[in-house]
């Protein structure tokens, strides 16, 4: 069982309440006066959990951040009928509830952080170490909530002190530069106060690696559109490099891309790669009823099964994402569902099939493939809930840090350096079937084969599985059998295996195999600064698709509208211009310049007489 740091207490500026969600029976407490609170380490801890609790809310990472807001970029779209109440349709306006809910939830987080920061030193008798850690985590979380606000809405009102009067609602917007300045200030102070990830032993709580990596993300946002402060690329590189160079944390990529998400489903931490996660636990019943998330259910691989094992998979990929993966890139078979999975309702055994429509899809079929990055079949929770899962949501992975470092390095130096290329190639070599079978050459088809012979591979490594095709008494082709996890079975060898054929009634067939090498995985050499950036833009999608970075990336690169309109054009050309079930062309096509930012919620425009609306919205 992994250690959980679960956000528990809910509190606002003038008071807070809490209920325990640990294994002991909860003891309800009445609303408390802050003047009588913050006096013990336990009270500070509960107040801090209230700041974390925003991350677990339905508006945030429990559901909406990857579900209702997870389809706004060019990687995928929703199946089913349109609903303008949600942002993924791009039909929203300032009165859409989801626009207000995000604004409200993020400011709740800011308010809770402000209250805690203002009171953390109330009792000097509490050890400095405890107070500093609480202060650091609260500062970082306040900065993170402001980062999501500025990325989504642009410049917003800045509050860094608790409100003294709930009726004092008029406050002008800070500029986006002022907001970014405050974010970096908060996070930089936090970096010196929070513990190392190796001290914690898990990624579900703010740690130095998480702070540094998110600071790199923040600085890239500041460097990009709409501000365009190129000096911030230096800061982004600095923070990313601090993660990379941390000898004690020794961050590295999990050798298996699939295992990153299998571990997530099995409730296991991997602090070498997963730097910060939002915590979910339990099976949606009893004491744990409100601690489960929807990761792997709404956005998971589609699978049928009895209650507690099914996943509805609202999210579909688009053809551009599918086609962006080259042969040998095993992320394709993990991220794009190429199998069907069913459960035996009696013993819960699982059966996989690999429809040809998924393994070798037509253009039309590519728009019907579900994402498969999060897979409930690996969830080990006893008696799982029908809709809630214990899968955490990873906000930051080490591969993201490597790609951010490479991007900043390229921008600073006017082109890719060796360090930038090496960082990208680390990500790509992990993704590829290096040492796996790339191709076959049949040098002699043999004679007399009446049925397909058995194909035997002899070599050092993990064996591949293949079948032979026979025509006219000869072996004419070899086809690799699907791998259980990725759908593509390349095997993995130190040298090309020897291939022999047995049975089939014939003789004499001879074939050789060629293996994938690092050269197949590595990015092209000699790219210009612009071409390298273009490559990074595609690589981030291949690696991080649906992990809630894509829209902000496209906006800061200044290509959000362009990419969405191109996706609409392609969907129309592929025959989906008028499809009512797959409305990718319509929803992508709605995007225009105003969609780079959400509108300021209509309710906020009413409440705050100093508020101004974002361009293009009313």
Q: Cα–Cα distance between 220 and 556 in angstroms, integer? A: 8
C-alpha angle 587-316-323 in degrees, rounded to nearest 5: 95
Q: Which of 54-68, 279-293, 446-460, 499-513 has the lowest mean pLDDT?
A: 279-293
Q: Cα–Cα distance between 24 and 471 in angstroms, integer? A: 68
- Three-state DSSP class for residue 388: coil
Predicted local confidence at residue 32, as pLDDT: 52
In the chain, what is the greatest distance between 2 CA atoms, to the nearest angstrom? 91
Predicted local confidence at residue 381, as pLDDT: 83
Name residues whose C-beta falls within 8 Å of residue 464's C-beta, 6 or more positions apart in sequence.
Answer: 436, 437, 457, 480, 481, 489, 490, 491, 497
Predicted local confidence at residue 36, as pLDDT: 80
Q: Cα–Cα distance between 527 and 406 in angstroms, integer? A: 13
Q: Which of 3-17, 36-50, 217-231 has the lowest mean pLDDT?
A: 3-17
Q: Which of 282-286, 392-396, 570-574, 582-586 has the lowest mean pLDDT?
A: 282-286
Q: Cα–Cα distance between 156 and 494 in angstroms, integer? A: 56
492 contacts 341 by C-beta, under 8 angstroms: no
148 contacts 183 by C-beta, under 8 angstroms: no
Orientation of helix 97-119 relative to helix 41-53, angle to 10°: 160
For residue 307 the two structure tokens come to 């209650």
pLDDT band, very low/low/confident/very high, at 28 (cuts 50, 70, 90): very low
Strands (E), 506-571: 510-515
What is the DSSP secondary structure assignment for residue 523, as one 8-state letter? Answer: P
Q: Domain residue spans in the chain?
A: 1-193, 286-391, 437-515
Q: Cα–Cα distance between 371 and 424 in angstroms, integer? A: 23
Q: Are strands 510-515 and 393-397 parallel, antiparallel or unpaired?
A: unpaired
Q: Are strands 274-278 and 466-471 parallel, antiparallel or unpaired?
A: unpaired
Sign of CA dihedral 600, 601, 604, 605: positive
Q: Cα–Cα distance between 141 and 36 in angstroms, integer? A: 24
pLDDT at 384 over 90: no
Orientation of helix 232-244 relative to helix 398-413, angle to 10°: 140
Residue located via tokens 């509050």: 159
Query: With a threshold of 0.85, does the pTM exceed it?
Result: yes
Predicted local confidence at residue 18, as pLDDT: 32
Predicted local confidence at residue 489, as pLDDT: 80
What is the rounded average pLDDT of the residues 586-608? 95
Mean pLDDT, the chain, whole residue set:
90
Name residues whose C-beta falls within 8 Å of residue 218's C-beta, 6 or more positions apart in sequence.
Answer: 143, 147, 180, 183, 184, 187
Predicted local confidence at residue 484, as pLDDT: 74
Q: Cα–Cα distance between 210 and 193 in angstroms, integer? A: 13
Q: Cα–Cα distance between 442 and 453 in angstroms, integer? A: 14
pLDDT at 23 over 80: no
- Three-state DSSP class for residue 316: strand
Which of these CATH numbers, 1.10.240.10, 3.30.70.380, 1.25.40.390, 3.40.630.10, describes 1-193? 1.25.40.390
Q: Which of 74-83, 208-217, 514-523 has the lowest mean pLDDT?
A: 74-83
- Per-residue pLDDT reduced to its tens digit, 116-151: 999 999 999 999 999 999 999 999 999 999 999 999
CA 266 to chain centre: 17
Q: Looking at per-residue confidence, does 314 or 30 come out higher?
A: 314
Predicted local confidence at residue 589, as pLDDT: 93
DSSP class per residue in 179-209: HHHHHHHHHHHHHTTSPPHHHH-SSSS--HH
């Amino acid at each position: 069982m992994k250690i959980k740091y679960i956000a528990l207490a809910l509190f606002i500026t003038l008071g807070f309440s809490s209920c325990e969600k640990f294994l002991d029976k909860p003891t309800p407490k009445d609303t408390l006066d802050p003047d009588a609170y913050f006096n013990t380490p336990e009270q500070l801890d509960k107040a801090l959990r209230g700041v974390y609790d925003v991350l677990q809310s339905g508006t945030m990472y429990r559901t909406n951040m990857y579900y209702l807001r997870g389809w706004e970029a060019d990687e995928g779209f929703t199946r089913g009928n349109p609903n303008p109440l949600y942002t993924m349709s791009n039909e929203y306006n300032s009165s859409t509830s989801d626009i207000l809910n995000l604004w409200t939830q993020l400011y709740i987080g800011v308010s809770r952080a402000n209250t805690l920061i203002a009171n953390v030193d109330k009792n000097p008798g509490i050890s400095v170490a405890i107070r500093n850690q609480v202060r650091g985590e609260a500062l970082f979380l306040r900065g993170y909530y402001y980062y999501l606000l500025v990325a989504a809405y642009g410049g917003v009102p800045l509050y860094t002190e608790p409100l003294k009067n709930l009726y004092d609602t008029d406050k002008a917007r800070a500029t986006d530069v002022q907001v970014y300045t405050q974010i970096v200030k908060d996070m930089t102070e936090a970096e010196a106060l929070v513990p190392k990830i190796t001290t914690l032993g898990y990624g579900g709580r703010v740690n130095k690696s998480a702070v540094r990596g998110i600071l790199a993300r923040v600085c890239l946002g500041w460097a990009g559109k709409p501000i365009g402060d190129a000096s911030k690329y230096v800061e982004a590189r600095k923070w990313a490099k601090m993660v990379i160079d941390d000898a004690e944390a020794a961050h590295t990529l999990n050798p298996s891309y699939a295992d990153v998400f299998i571990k997530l489903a099995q409730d296991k931490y991997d602090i070498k790669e997963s730097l910060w996660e939002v915590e979910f636990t339990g099976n949606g019943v009893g004491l744990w009823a409100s601690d489960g998330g929807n990761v792997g259910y709404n956005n998971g691989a589609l699978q049928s099964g009895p209650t507690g094992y099914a996943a509805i998979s609202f999210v579909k990929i688009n053809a551009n994402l599918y086609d962006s993966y080259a042969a040998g890139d095993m992320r394709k078979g993990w991220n794009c569902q190429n199998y069907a999975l069913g459960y035996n309702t009696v013993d819960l055994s699982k059966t996989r099939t690999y429809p040809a429509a998924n393994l070798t899809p037509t253009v039309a079929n590519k728009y019907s493939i579900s994402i498969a990055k999060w897979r409930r079949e690996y969830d080990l929770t006893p008696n799982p809930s029908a809709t809630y899962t214990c899968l955490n949501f990873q906000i930051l992975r080490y591969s993201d840090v490597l790609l951010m470092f490479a991007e900043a390095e390229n921008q600073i130096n006017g082109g890719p350096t060796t360090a930038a290329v090496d960082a990208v190639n680390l990500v790509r070599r992990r993704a590829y079937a290096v040492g796996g079978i790339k191709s076959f050459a049949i040098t002699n088809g043999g004679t007399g084969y009446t049925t397909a012979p058995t194909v035997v591979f002899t070599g050092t490594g993990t064996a591949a599985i293949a079948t032979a095709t026979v025509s006219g008494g000869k072996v004419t082709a070899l086809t690799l059998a699907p791998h259980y996890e990725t759908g593509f079975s390349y095997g993995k060898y130190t040298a090309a295996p020897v291939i022999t054929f047995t049975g089939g009634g014939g003789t004499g067939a001879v074939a050789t195999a060629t293996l994938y090498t690092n050269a197949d995985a590595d990015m092209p050499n000699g790219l210009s600064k612009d071409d390298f950036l273009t490559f990074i833009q595609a690589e981030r999608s291949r690696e991080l698709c649906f992990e809630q970075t894509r829209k902000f990336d496209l906006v800061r690169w200044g290509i959000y509208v362009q990419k969405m309109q191109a996706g609409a054009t392609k969907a129309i050309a592929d025959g989906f211009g008028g499809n009512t079930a797959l409305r990718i062309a319509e929803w992508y096509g709605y995007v225009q310049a105003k969609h780079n930012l959400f509108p300021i919620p209509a309710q906020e425009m009413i409440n705050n007489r100093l508020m101004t609306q974002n361009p293009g919205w009313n």
